[in-house]
Amino acid sequence: MTFGGGNSEKRGAGAGWACVLACLWLLAFAAPAAAQLFTDRPPPVPPAAIPEAPGSPAISLAPPSGPAAGPPLPAALTQPPAAAIAPPPPSAAPSVAPAPNHAVLALTARYGSDLPVINGGLIWRIFSDKPDETGAFKLIREDRGATPNIALPPGHYIVHVAFGLVTAARAVTLHSDTDRESFLLPAGGLRIEGRVGTSKIPANQISFSIHKGSQFDSGGESPAVVTNGTPGDVVILPEGTYNIISNYGDANSVVRSDIRVLAGKLTDTTVTHRAAVITLKLVGEKGGEALANTSWSVITPGGDVVKESIGAFPRMILAEGEYRAIAKNEGKVFEQSFKVVNGVDGEVEVLAR
């Protein structure tokens, strides 16, 4: 897909559950999606501050590499865009004999009720169901397996699961047997590439932010769920519509695009910028040496300042269009009109005369 330039058991009694519920809505990213996951139990939550382990994939999950790599990218999100997902052959999790006076909590997560089990990238956390004297919920266990079997003493707990930016929580009560809990996490992957003309934009020259909803929604721009994103990384997001704001360079080449993320699928998106890299020089004569200690301003025909810089060879990325370069050197001011053509990098000389 290519875009053109210019686009969330039984009811608990007492005030304890009220505190738990309030924390959930402060923590969970996708409240509407998460709410669907709380079936026959009230929606409890983990504490307001969950301790993050080093390397926790909180925002983006890139394919791992090397001996120290984290959990593998789920296979369903490495398929080609819009590829249908076939459910894997049924397989039961290995049975675990609980330790004396312990029960087993068997956990799984799926992309949807009719979609496959998520096979990597999950972070499971088990909390006590009541806060301590400081108001914090104690973290009892953390696991990064796809289908962990966790042995715990019988009792009441809160289970929290995170998959990229998709989270869910549930209260569970363990008895002296195995409790199987399955979560629905309607998540999809988004991978972005930038191009200008026929060329791929280097990753160090482009960044993007991702906002929930469409750029055309009323109520203004929503807060970014991802900032300073890097092309090529796979970002795990709740299923839905998102607005991508792509910045090529740090001047005026900005593109807005809407994209739909589908559960269990990887969406590859190409954002196309119409811009070029321009180098400015103040010279005494055509083709001459650039004069140092020059202050530069690039303005539009309407007089708006697009970019300012100091140096002999300022290099800037500008959207296609017409501009004026204003150079100041030793108290004198020199000007030159120029035009930026999409994909055509060039050099603009301003004569110091």
- pLDDT tens-place string over residues 311-332: 999 999 999 999 999 999 999 9
So what's the pLDDT on residue 101? 82
User: What confidence tens digit (pLDDT) does each residue in 141-151 have?
Assistant: 999 999 999 99
Among 133, 185, 182, 139, which Cα is nearest to 162's?
Answer: 185
Looking at the chain, how many residues does it have? 353
Which of 221 and 181 is assigned the larger pLDDT? 181
Topology of domain 187-273 in CATH is Immunoglobulin-like (2.60.40)
How far is residue 296's CA from residue 316's CA, in Å, rounded to a whole number? 11
How far is residue 183's CA from residue 122's CA, in Å, rounded to a whole number? 11
What's the rounded mean pLDDT across residues 68-91? 39
Structure tokens given for 224: 């970014």
Domain residue limits, the chain: 8-51+101-184, 187-273, 276-351
How far is residue 90's CA from residue 113's CA, in Å, rounded to a whole number? 14
So what's the pLDDT on residue 90? 40
Cβ neighbors of 160 (< 8 A, separation 6 or more) are 45, 46, 50, 124, 125, 126, 127, 167, 168, 169
Of the candidate ranges 14-28, 123-137, 157-171, 193-207, the one whose mean pLDDT is the lowest: 14-28
Q: What is the number of alpha carbons within 13 Å of residue 287 lying toward its C-beta?
A: 0
Confidence of residue 9 (pLDDT cuts 50, 70, 90): very low
Q: How far is CA 279 from the centre of its chain?
A: 33
Three-state secondary-structure class, residue 24: helix
Topology of domain 8-51+101-184 in CATH is Immunoglobulin-like (2.60.40)
Taking domain 276-351, whether its CATH number is 1.10.760.10 is answered by no
So what's the pLDDT on residue 29? 39
Same CATH fold, 187-273 and 8-51+101-184? yes
Strands of 103-110's sheet, edge to edge?
149-152, 103-110, 178-184
Q: Are strands 266-273 and 2-3 parallel, antiparallel or unpaired?
A: parallel
